[in-house]
Structure 1
Amino acid sequence: MDNSGIYVGLDIGTTSIKVIVAEFVKGQLNIIGVGSERSDGLSRGVIVDIDRAVDAIKAAVDQAEQKANIQISEVTVGIPANFLEIVPCNGMIAVGDGSGKSKEIDSTDVYHVTKAALVQKLPPERDIIDVIPNEFTVDGFDGIKDPRGMVGVRLEMNGVLYTGPRTVLHNTVKCVERAGLVVKDTIVAPLALATQALSDGEQDFGAVLIDLGGGQTTAAVVHDHKLKYTYVDQEGGKFVTKDISVVLNTSLENAEKIKRNFGYAASYLASKDDVFPVEVVGKADTVQISGEYLSEIIEARLTQIFTKLKTVLEEIDALQLPGGIIITGGVSALPGIKELAEDIFETNIKLFIPQQMGLRHPSFTQSIGLVAYMTKQSEIEKVVKASLEGDISVIEDNVEDDTHEQQVDYNKNTEQKKQKVKKNSSFEGIKNFFNTFFD
């Protein structure tokens, strides 16, 4: 499988919109362009003003185009986990013309069995975001990852549907299209995030991934390389900033600055002696505030968020998973976040920070995860996803490619046989010569 090429990820967050342009060559992902613009028209991860969101997307794309020196036309978009539902699906078809004779399974058969799996009633307010195959079954033999090339009469597929509110999906796609771009693919945000932030062992044995975003906090449970559960708390970094603004009676802009420059997630790590000036509304002179007092404000809100998450995760025994909890997202850049999380969750905690040059900040984990996810998609996953999009041309291209490869192999084998016959004929001629000579 060769996924080499240029990939563009678009992360539409509540506080910022990020665009990542990456080149995938010889198994290596290289970031060649980045765009980041303050979000507008979003609230708690959901687009509420299309016009303002479109302008922000255009600005971020322009930045990425200038740095990458390319024209961006297609993007892979992350869809937030708000009201996400994970639904099992299965379908079955007869392979071939239905006569009962065995036939070699190809991409077209996979396309049709996926279509059969998608035939189920969904509420009118919900849409399918993604479909991922778990396994295929050929004539009763299960556990097959890719049935193409096998011979059978009956083909079945068991998979997972990710569905979300139609409004969220429609508004997201609408904004991207109005920004002059084509949505190449939509990916459930926690899936992309897990690709980047979790190791192979953590995805296999199970772990909890917490994304501390600006507008909301998302917890995702990953086990056996599958997304099993998501929970979204409608509080994030913006609420921490608002708390600072209200308590210190300063503007939101000032509150954000002092949070980033002087804030600690765990107040016992801050010092009473470290003080800084704060511009207070209605006062000409600044007021001196200690780092400990500021951190107490921050800790109160984060403790509330973590406590809610702990209650939810304990109900499903997710905190017992061997991988523990991995925390990422912009808010996780606050010093002391790991210590506070360890005190509340009482399990092993790990912070994830991307290591790409110039992007070593947890706020970029999601956007990098979008392009990383695309490069790791298998051929069979692409065929299944094409069935969701109704793009049979992709399937036909794959069939043509398979046919071409078979023809090349046939020609190669035929040529080898000819050479072998020619070689044998030459050998027989020499043998006859020596037989005649010695006679």
Structure 2
Amino acid sequence: MDIGTTSIKVIIAEYVKGQLNIIGSGNTLSAGLNRGVIVDIDQVVDAIKDAVKQAEDKAGVDITDVIVGLPANMLQIEKCQGMISIGDDANRAKEITDEDVQRVTEAALVQNLPPERDVIDIAPDEFVVDDFEGIRDPRGMVGVRLEMKGVMYTGPKTILYNTKKCVERAGLRVQEIVVAPIATAQLALDEGEKDFGAIVIDLGGGQTTAAVVHDHKLKYTYVDQEGGDFVTRDISVVLNTSVENAESLKRNYGLALASGASSEETFTVQVVGKQEPRMVTEEFLAQIIQARLEQIFGKIAQALGKVGALDLPGGIILTGGMADLPGIAELAEEIFGVNVRIFRSNEMGLRIPSYTQVLGLVTYVALQNEVALVVKHTIDKKLGTSNVNAYRNEQVKDRQAEVQSEELDDYEEAADYPNEEKKGGFFSKIKNMMAGLFDED
């Protein structure tokens, strides 16, 4: 479920034999939100019910649990670390289980957070078993000490509580809360972009969110409190027409780049307080739109430049409702000075950028590995949300303690491998440079 300022979108999906199938979708106009933040719970509840009903009717099923995306408003990203002893009383090594991963996650959650904030998610970078580093999944291994290093995402309790409250009052349970930019990046970026680094800009109605991803982790976010609705209002004010007419003009005739618009192509605009419509050129409308987009992109470029994100090789990927505007990629390239592309899903009937976030939510949850599920389960208990769906819970609970052969080799023979960073080669230098892009001074 994507609870946005402009619209609320719901997708019903099933995950069968490794294949994600979309079986129903709903989309309704939002009410009760301002710039991504809930300001009227009753109005949001009604909109959620409407979107859910649409999706249920199309899918022919009733839903009780939902995955909800949380906006990046006031999101904070910081490093975290937890360490526990897993040996017995005689300090002898024992096999690492799901419970040990939960305990080390709980240890990482022990942070001096302000009372108004809560942990939303933790993305493990690595596990360390008795000084053996770089382990992706420690379960099934043996040791006396387990450590987890990762990235922690925290957000305002008010946003978390109000989101959960709206969903529950709509008659649903929150199955999982996901940081929206993480889910969007999961879908919109390819593996190379996630690894070497790229920027996803979600052009929403109430706000525009830039998310920097590097080494498969969300490293930085910037939220500009202007979005597509501001473009619509500009058109309404300049042309003295209603907001409804302005939105229609933007969708049907709008261009993001005035240099690509025609000065001869005209259309009529109903003017408030006048009987006769006004004739407006395509070029003039594009100038109104471009002025606002330049302001939004300019502020984002300044923020991204401060953290060195524009040097990442993956460039910028645009998504969200405004990404459908012709010429917007070209305008973004002029302002940011990097390669820009627009992401559109391959899902039949949902091949428009405005559905990227809600599709990303189901994709992200479906592709979570088992150790990530254990970590998420620990956080969900703290937040008071229900666990991931029953099938996946049983999959984690009943999983036999098996380890991929390559991970066993890494653990048992780690002492025989040379330290890559000591080689001082070209790729080592590049890796160190990219890893330090977002480190604080």
In the alignment, what sits opposite 2:222? 231
When the two structures are aligned, how many residues end up with a matched partner?
397
- What amino acid is aligned across from residue 110 of structure 2 in structure 1? V
Instruction: Tell me, in whole angstroms, the C-alpha distance in 2 between the residues paired with 1:227 and 1:338.
Output: 23
Match of 2:278 among 280, 287, 295: 287
Instruction: Tell me, in whole angstroms, the C-alpha distance in 2 between the residues paired with 1:47 and 1:399.
Output: 34
User: What secondary structure does 2:398 align onto?
Assistant: helix
Instruction: Tell me, in whole angstroms, the C-alpha distance in 2 between the residues paired with 1:312 and 1:72.
Output: 40
User: What secondary structure does 2:146 align onto?
Assistant: strand
Q: Give yes or no for contact 1:108–1:399 (8 Å, CA) kept in 2.
A: no
Cα displacement (A) at 1:226: 0.4
> Is 2:36 aligned against 1:45?
yes
Instruction: Tell me, in whole angstroms, the C-alpha distance in 2 between the residues paired with 1:396 and 1:234.
Output: 38
> Is 2:346 aligned against 1:346?
no
Instruction: Tell me, in whole angstroms, the C-alpha distance in 1 between the residues paired with 2:397 and 2:89.
Output: 23
Cα displacement (A) at 1:404: 10
Instruction: Tell me, in whole angstroms, the C-alpha distance in 2 between the residues paired with 1:271 and 1:393.
Output: 54
CA-based RMSD of the aligned residues comes to 1.8
Q: Give yes or no for contact 1:106–1:399 (8 Å, CA) kept in 2.
A: no
- What amino acid is aligned across from residue 361 of structure 2 in structure 1? L
In the alignment, what sits opposite 2:411? none
Q: Give yes or no for contact 1:57–1:179 (8 Å, CA) kept in 2.
A: yes
1:194-343 matched pairs, under 5 angstroms: 194-343=185-334
User: What secondary structure does 1:89 align onto?
Assistant: strand
1:15-164 matched pairs, under 5 angstroms: 15-164=6-155
Cα displacement (A) at 1:387: 1.2
Instruction: Tell me, in whole angstroms, the C-alpha distance in 2 between the residues paired with 1:101 and 1:238.
Output: 62
Instruction: Tell me, in whole angstroms, the C-alpha distance in 1 between the residues paired with 2:328 and 2:400.
Output: 55
- Superposed structure 1 runs of 4+ greater than 3 Å apart: 391-400, 402-405
Cα displacement (A) at 1:315: 1.1
Q: Note closer, same or farther for the CA distance 1:399–1:229 as it changes in structure 2 (3 Å cut).
A: closer
Instruction: Tell me, in whole angstroms, the C-alpha distance in 1 between the residues paired with 2:332 and 2:399.
Output: 51
Instruction: Tell me, in whole angstroms, the C-alpha distance in 1 between the residues paired with 2:13 and 2:250.
Output: 32
Instruction: Tell me, in whole angstroms, the C-alpha distance in 1 between the residues paired with 2:349 and 2:397.
Output: 42
Cα displacement (A) at 1:131: 1.4
In the alignment, what sits opposite 1:437? none
The TM-score normalised by the length of structure 2 is 0.87
Instruction: Tell me, in whole angstroms, the C-alpha distance in 2 between the residues paired with 1:349 and 1:399.
Output: 39
> Is 2:398 aligned against 1:401?
yes
144-153 or 382-391, larger mean C-alpha shift: 382-391
Structure 2 gaps of 5+ residues are 403-441
The TM-score normalised by the length of structure 1 is 0.88
Instruction: Tell me, in whole angstroms, the C-alpha distance in 2 between the residues paired with 1:400 and 1:221.
Output: 34
21-30 or 204-213, larger mean C-alpha shift: 21-30
Structure 1 gaps of 5+ residues are 1-9, 406-439
1:137-191 deviations in whole A, cap 9, x for unaligned? Answer: 1111111111110010111111211001111111111100110111110110100
Q: Give yes or no for contact 2:120–2:154 (8 Å, CA) kept in 1.
A: yes
Instruction: Tell me, in whole angstroms, the C-alpha distance in 1 between the residues paired with 2:394 and 2:90.
Output: 27
User: What secondary structure does 2:230 align onto?
Assistant: helix
In the alignment, what sits opposite 2:363? 372
Q: Note closer, same or farther for the CA distance 1:70–1:40 as it changes in structure 2 (3 Å cut).
A: same
Cα displacement (A) at 1:390: 2.7
Q: Note closer, same or farther for the CA distance 1:177–1:318 as it changes in structure 2 (3 Å cut).
A: same
Instruction: Tell me, in whole angstroms, the C-alpha distance in 2 between the residues paired with 1:291 and 1:363.
Output: 24
- What amino acid is aligned across from residue 46 of structure 1 in structure 2? V
Cα displacement (A) at 1:380: 0.1
In the alignment, what sits opposite 2:426? none
Q: Give yes or no for contact 2:176–2:387 (8 Å, CA) kept in 1.
A: no
Instruction: Tell me, in whole angstroms, the C-alpha distance in 2 between the residues paired with 1:396 and 1:264.
Output: 48
Instruction: Tell me, in whole angstroms, the C-alpha distance in 2 between the residues paired with 1:234 and 1:216.
Output: 5
57-66 or 393-402, larger mean C-alpha shift: 393-402
Q: Note closer, same or farther for the CA distance 1:304–1:125 as it changes in structure 2 (3 Å cut).
A: same
Q: Give yes or no for contact 2:374–2:396 (8 Å, CA) kept in 1.
A: no
User: What secondary structure does 1:219 align onto?
Assistant: strand
Match of 2:176 among 164, 171, 185: 185
Q: Give yes or no for contact 2:121–2:152 (8 Å, CA) kept in 1.
A: yes
Cα displacement (A) at 1:347: 1.0
Instruction: Tell me, in whole angstroms, the C-alpha distance in 2 between the residues paired with 1:396 and 1:34.
Output: 25
Cα displacement (A) at 1:27: 2.4
1:29-51 deviations in whole A, cap 9, x for unaligned? Answer: 22110000000000001110000
Identical residues among aligned pairs (%):
62
Cα displacement (A) at 1:314: 1.1
Instruction: Tell me, in whole angstroms, the C-alpha distance in 2 between the residues paired with 1:274 and 1:396.
Output: 59
1:167-182 matched pairs, under 5 angstroms: 167-182=158-173
